[in-house]
């Protein structure tokens, strides 16, 4: 009953001083909104990246000459490496008993045409038929190319949704012929729409059989090919990677006391690397935005101090009627916490909406994050407690005799 009465008194006091309560609320809203915007936006972007990378699957890993570079020195060291070549994929298929599927891939850019329409700088990938079985790549229409298509160099193409939308809006693209570079290919399938990431479409691509790619474009001696490999199971993933490592080191004559002269990455290791790179950046942004929260907290403290001063006589009357120090303390803590909690809730909503708008600018989407909501509520309640405790203690320690005589 006492707690309920104190809560009601605190609410009445806030309602009686609307301007002061509104200014306090505004300071907290700005602070929580800024933190929530950053947390929600970063969480949304990392979730989108994680979802995209996780398409590789938990039992899949990649091998390439150079994949991740974190410094200039590392780049200069890795760029001197010999490329991974198609013969390496054949050796791995024979020498890795724990590798279920091996798919070499290579890339270039070319102009894609259909009648009078064309798209420039479209990503062209040459891959084997097993690629669709390794990577979580959904087919919306038709099919992916088969082993026979690759074996007999059939001019067939699997297109991204942007290609379909640009050339074949309102019509069936299957069976139509498009020109990739200087050669015609028959459309046999369309990928399910993947959307954009950081403003770049993920549907702006065509995939042709690897044999056709090599005949038309060749394989870059500088980049080589990228191998996507699926282990027989998640539990045997590390062993499969060790087998691939042994095959490549032996083929490339890497001494036993030297590190690998190629990169091997799983989806999990890519995400760990991205988290390491962005951790400092994220903490810095959150730290900068937290300055506004500190300012909001100081505003709360100042206004609560003014409130204590203005209500000194009221405090004296309540004490003379039997109110204890803890009752006065709890009343003023309730007041500061109610204001900051209300500001926190509004700030969470505003922060999420602003973050959603910002992330939408780079064609990504976010959902309410439990981490962001918990952080916003914890911060707002914490501000109320931390910055409201001193004014509350000052009010609780007032001498009732002096308080009654205060004018």
The answer to whether 126 and 210 are in contact (CB under 8 A) is: yes
Mean pLDDT across the stretch 31-39?
74
* CA gap 146, 156 in Å, rounded: 10
Instruction: Give the pLDDT score at 219.
Output: 83
Phi, psi of 122 (to 5 degrees): -85, 135
Residue of higher predicted confidence among 356 and 118: 118
* CA gap 91, 107 in Å, rounded: 21
Instruction: Give the pLDDT score at 405.
Output: 58
pLDDT tens across 190-214, in order?
Answer: 998 877 665 567 788 999 999 999 9
pLDDT tens across 288-315, in order?
Answer: 666 767 777 777 777 777 776 666 676 6
Band (pLDDT 50/70/90 cuts) for residue 381 is confident
pTM over 0.85: no
pLDDT tens across 92-149, in order?
Answer: 988 889 998 899 999 899 999 998 888 998 999 999 998 888 877 788 899 999 999 9
Band (pLDDT 50/70/90 cuts) for residue 350 is confident
Collect all residues with Cβ–Cβ distance below 8 Å to 149 and sequence separation of at least 6: 129, 156, 188, 209
Residue of higher predicted confidence among 278 and 231: 231
The candidate with the shortest Cα–Cα distance to 185, out of 215, 165, 162, is 215
Of 134-138, 169-173, 180-184, minimum mean pLDDT range = 134-138
Instruction: Give the pLDDT score at 324.
Output: 73
Instruction: Give the pLDDT score at 31.
Output: 73
Band (pLDDT 50/70/90 cuts) for residue 157 is very high
- Most confident of the ranges 115-119, 320-324, 356-360: 115-119
Band (pLDDT 50/70/90 cuts) for residue 407 is low
Collect all residues with Cβ–Cβ distance below 8 Å to 134 and sequence separation of at least 6: 56, 57, 60, 101, 103, 228, 229, 230
The candidate with the shortest Cα–Cα distance to 354, out of 372, 380, 379, is 372
């Amino acid at each position: 009953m006492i707690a309920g009465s104190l809560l009601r008194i605190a609410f009445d006091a806030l309602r009686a001083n609307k301007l002061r309560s509104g200014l306090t609320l505004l300071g907290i809203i700005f602070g929580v909104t800024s933190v929530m915007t950053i947390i929600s936006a970063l969480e949304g972007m990392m979730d989108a990246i994680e979802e995209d990378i996780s398409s590789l699957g938990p039992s899949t890993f990649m091998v390439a000459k150079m994949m991740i570079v974190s410094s200039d020195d590392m780049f200069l060291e890795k760029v001197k490496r010999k490329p991974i070549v198609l013969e390496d994929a054949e050796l791995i298929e024979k020498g890795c008993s724990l590798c279920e599927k091996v798919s070499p891939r290579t890339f270039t850019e070319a102009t894609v045409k259909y009648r009078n329409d064309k798209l420039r700088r479209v990503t062209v990938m040459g891959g084997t038929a097993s690629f669709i079985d390794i990577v979580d790549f959904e087919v919306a229409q038709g099919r992916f190319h088969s082993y026979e298509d690759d074996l007999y160099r059939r001019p067939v193409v699997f297109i991204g949704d942007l290609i379909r939308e640009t050339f074949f809006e309102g019509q069936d693209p299957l069976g139509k012929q498009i020109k990739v570079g200087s050669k015609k290919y028959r459309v046999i399938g369309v990928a399910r729409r993947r959307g954009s990431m950081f403003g770049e479409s993920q549907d702006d691509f065509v995939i042709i059989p690897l044999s056709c790619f090599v005949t038309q474009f060749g394989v870059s001696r500088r980049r080589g090919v990228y191998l996507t490999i699926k282990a027989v199971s998640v539990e045997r993933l590390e062993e499969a990677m060790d087998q691939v490592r042994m095959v490549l080191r032996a083929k490339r004559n890497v001494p036993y006391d030297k590190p690998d002269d190629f990169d091997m990455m799983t989806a999990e290791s890519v995400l760990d690397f991205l988290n390491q790179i962005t951790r400092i950046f994220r903490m810095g942004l959150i730290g900068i935005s937290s300055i506004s929260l500190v300012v909001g907290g100081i505003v709360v403290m100042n206004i609560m101090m003014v409130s204590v001063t203005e209500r000194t006589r009221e405090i004296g009357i309540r004490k003379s009627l039997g109110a204890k120090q803890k009752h006065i303390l709890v009343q003023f803590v309730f007041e500061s916490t109610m204001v900051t909690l209300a500001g926190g809730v509004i700030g969470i909503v505003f922060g999420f909406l602003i973050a959603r708008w910002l992330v939408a600018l780079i064609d990504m989407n976010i959902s309410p994050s439990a981490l962001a909501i918990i952080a916003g509520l914890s911060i707002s309640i914490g501000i109320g407690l931390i910055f409201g405790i001193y004014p509350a203690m000052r009010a609780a320690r007032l001498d009732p005799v002096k308080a009654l005589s205060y004018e």
